[in-house]
Amino acid sequence: MNNSNKSTILKILYICVLVCLLIGCNNIFPKIILHKECTILSFNWYTSKDSIVYPYVYEFKKYALDTLDSVVVYNEGKTYCDYKEKYVKDKGIYRVCNKVLTLTHSFIDTTNDIRFCLIKEPFLNDKVIFSDFKTYNINGKVYKLYQFSEFNGSHSGYNSYYLDGIGFICYYNFDRDDYILCDSTNIKSLDIKEITHKLVRDTLFFARYIGAKLMPHFYRQKFHYSKYPFR
């Protein structure tokens, strides 16, 4: 083999290694090649009896870019939805809607009436209203949770819970009294199980208990978990 052929082979190998390094973070998806950091949140689906009906029903992967985060949600290994957002501390979460950065989840304003252009339940909804926030002290760390009511049309479908600076860790459906909950993450320093354990047992903050007090005789139709995903 002459020097010219060796040089060509080395160039090809170099390009292959470079491509492999650029598509890290466990999985590749076509809209993002370059990213600095990937946060993974895995969700189990729980019934009204707090038992798991489907493990790992959804997986969030949030890729940190220069100005925005790009989020891809997987359901059973397939892409369910994707969107771009920006977290602004003490202000809220902005998402890209028709190429415009729009405040969809305000951490302050309980009267925010911004309509979002995409619907993909339970993660992307037509309208979101800030409800409340709560802090938990766990293992010497302070974690802040924001609660939102998320609407589609006139129907209030979900209560969502955002862990400050990390991402959404729970979506609760009052009509069925079930929820998806983040039980695992690749952030090793995050006390995720302790946080979610406190959340779903918090009678003053978790929507299940608040709804039960406001509507103690609310009628729920029987839901067949074998037929439908959480949405």
Residue range 155-170, pLDDT digits in tens: 558 999 999 999 999 9
- Judged by DSSP in three states, 195 sits in helix
Provide mean pLDDT across the span 192-200.
97
User: What phi, psi does 211 have (nearest 5°)?
Assistant: -65, -40
Whether 230 is in a domain gets the answer no
Q: pLDDT band for 20, please (50, 70, 90 cuts).
A: very low
Whether 203 is in a domain gets the answer yes
CB atoms within 10 A of CB 199: 23
Q: Is the pLDDT of residue 22 over 50?
A: no
Whether 157 is in a domain gets the answer yes
pTM of the model: 0.80
Q: Is the pLDDT of residue 104 over 90?
A: yes
The count of structural domains within the chain is 1
Mean per-residue pLDDT of the chain: 83
Whether 137 is in a domain gets the answer yes
Q: Is the pLDDT of residue 16 over 60?
A: no
Q: Is the pLDDT of residue 17 over 50?
A: no
90: left (phi over 0), alpha (psi -120 to 50) or beta: left
Whether 229 is in a domain gets the answer no
Provide mean pLDDT across the span 131-147.
97
What domain range includes position 92? Answer: 3-214
Whether 221 is in a domain gets the answer no
Whether 219 is in a domain gets the answer no
Whether 130 is in a domain gets the answer yes
Residue 226 buriedness (CB in 10 A; 0-12 / 13-18 / 19+): exposed
The pLDDT, as a whole number, for residue 28 is 40
